[in-house]
Structure 1
């Protein structure tokens, strides 16, 4: 289901938050040397947790004496294990995953936090229920995003009052804590086992020749708590794009995704004129990251593998519709983010709150195969030139 549009309930939550914000006290930013235990709370979802990796690197530098814990929902601990600059991952269970938790989970998570004795909580989430948990845990310093009054329980509040990339919004929280931001980027570190697995896979499928390897992910846009099919470019267009890359660049095409992506991946592969390699449902997140690190290009929708490719330094072509590249796109990445200028993500006015896609959204179909092919071929030409040096 698509994230619900902003309605009366959202308005009332914001209004109540603004009233409570006048009651809850703010506090001065703590001295970095006084912070021994710091928790970053970003329960969901995959792409957002990768976005948080940029802030985590800055917090590590700004609070050098602190033990840094990353708290994520139970569905996202595998991903969090590969995010660097973290001493420990805390499994928050269902807490913070949209549609999967209630006030009982908020109380339970607050008890977890209280037992840990944190000095500072950094909340990189907009939900008032997420922001209230560290207050219930009596964590003295609580910094985070204040979306229309929803951050009332925070002692340092960073307003979300303008369209800005999600990564930069998180970095604004870091800045509010007095930490200068230097050369931010997304990061994910595959383990040695993941890298060995990717190497064996490249050998097994004969992907170590001079022919460029392109990973394509035609599915995605599905997380615990949210599914948005309107973020998926048609499978037949991915097929046409892949065929052109094979014909014009002699590329080897590898199709990836989790098990739920199998139907759309099959549709893409059946529509192709050239053979491709099917790895759908056959890699973990870490293994996929290691494989992405070895290839010349990634092409896909706005979903985890796109941002995973960015985090390991692989050029990307991302295709967007109801979400905006300026807010959710590949962050400081080599490559391109394509969106039709008439897409709802480009024409709607900014306002804090849940994403509002247009009814029965097909905006992503405004991106043509020719546009995607031109962007992909430009990246492959650049990659080929670098390899020949």
Structure 2
């Protein structure tokens, strides 16, 4: 019943907005000075829109791009791109339709709208594709209230036509593809987006050198480094720590140094692994770095091996040899080309959805990962 109500509200919002907006001409690129884009979630999700952001900049070289996202701390790297300006947090995942009568609900929903209307918005681009209908409803409400001269985005399949946007793609156009082509196709609604799918994570030379110096100081006798990320946002994404322990022992026995990265919440996992390796063979920096320092440690490694999480996407963006260990979930996040990463997918099919902290069986063996590592290491 709730799902039916939400979809009815989505259709109503879309049809009313479409009637009110009417037909609008695409703005002349020379008149576009401010673009606002919407993308939610973590570092990996934000990295996947960097090809589309680059395409937008190419189409509108005079414009500055602002960002609406869930947590700005996940997006700090985007603001190193010269055409990105500033951002606004949108507490989408805290909003619940059953709290629609509370002031807190409307304050949260109104935050991105106020940001959009602080100054004229020439183009609004919504990249976020969500599986929860009520989140779609909230995002479409923001688009309808944006005040943008022109708006493009992704519509749920229950919406006929462009809805709250001037031009839109149906969510089913994604299919079983990676997200990056879809995001370029969203940009393609306003011009030629090209087909460059390379992601970007900018680093300063000094950050890379500092990481290199720390690795050399900690492991002076190790001339080849493997960076491991044993954590992930959800338990269902974790390749078993016992297998990481076995893998790390094999790699260090071959003379490789091990660099362990992660958040402070993942420190207990990395300490288990570090404690199993001899002194001078491991550097554990989990919980001791910011996002850029973590990326720099990835950058100086000869190989990255990790779970389906932000650091894996960073490694690919930094063009490092990468092995991604993928458990349950959708291919849209990790269908990289073979020359971008070796993706080892758990052959046991599960869609985690609301079971993100459930324990799922893994069929990816240590032998498989070790063999892939030997093929990638110089």
Equivalent in 329, 332, 337 of residue 327 of structure 1: 332
User: Measured at CA, do residues 155 and 236 of structure 1 come closer, stay the same or move farther in structure 2, by a change above 3 Å?
Assistant: same
Compute the TM-score of the two structures, normalised by the length of structure 1.
0.82
Q: Is residue 195 of structure 1 aligned with residue 215 of structure 2?
A: no
Distance in 1 between residues matched to 2:273 and 2:4, nearest whole Å: 42
1:66 aligned partner:
63
Equivalent in 257, 266, 271 of residue 266 of structure 1: 271
> What displacement does 1:216 show?
0.3
1:133 aligned partner:
142
Gaps of 5+ in 1: 1-7, 222-227, 346-353, 385-389
Q: Is residue 213 of structure 1 aligned with residue 225 of structure 2?
A: yes
1:147 aligned partner:
156
1:17 aligned partner:
10
2:295 aligned partner:
289
> What displacement does 1:82 show?
5.3
> What displacement does 1:75 show?
4.4
Matches within 5 A, 1:91-240: 92-97=88-93, 102-126=105-129, 127-149=136-158, 152-161=163-172, 162-206=175-219, 211-221=223-233, 228-240=234-246
Provide, for residues 31-88 of structure 1, a one-character-per-residue CA deviation record: whole Å limited to 9, x for no partner: 3233221111224222111111111111111111212223333443553445525331
Compute the TM-score of the two structures, normalised by the length of structure 2.
0.84
In the alignment, is the contact (CA less than 8 A) between 2:95 and 2:108 conserved in 1? no
Provide, for residues 259-302 of structure 1, a one-character-per-residue CA deviation record: whole Å limited to 9, x for no partner: 00012222333455784221111111111112212111111111
2:132 aligned partner:
none
Moved over 4 A (4+): 97-101, 271-275, 356-359
CA-based RMSD: 2.7
Gaps of 5+ in 2: 97-103, 130-135
Tell me the number of residue pairs that the alignment of Structure 1 and Structure 2 aligns: 355
Distance in 2 between residues matched to 1:145 and 1:139, nearest whole Å: 16
In the alignment, is the contact (CA less than 8 A) between 1:300 and 1:318 conserved in 2? yes
Distance in 2 between residues matched to 1:87 and 1:185, nearest whole Å: 18
> What displacement does 1:339 show?
1.1
User: Measured at CA, do residues 14 and 241 of structure 1 come closer, stay the same or move farther in structure 2, by a change above 3 Å?
Assistant: farther
Secondary structure, counterpart of 2:188 in structure 1: helix
> What displacement does 1:10 show?
4.2
Matches within 5 A, 1:356-375: 360-363=358-361, 365-375=362-372
> What displacement does 1:213 show?
0.6
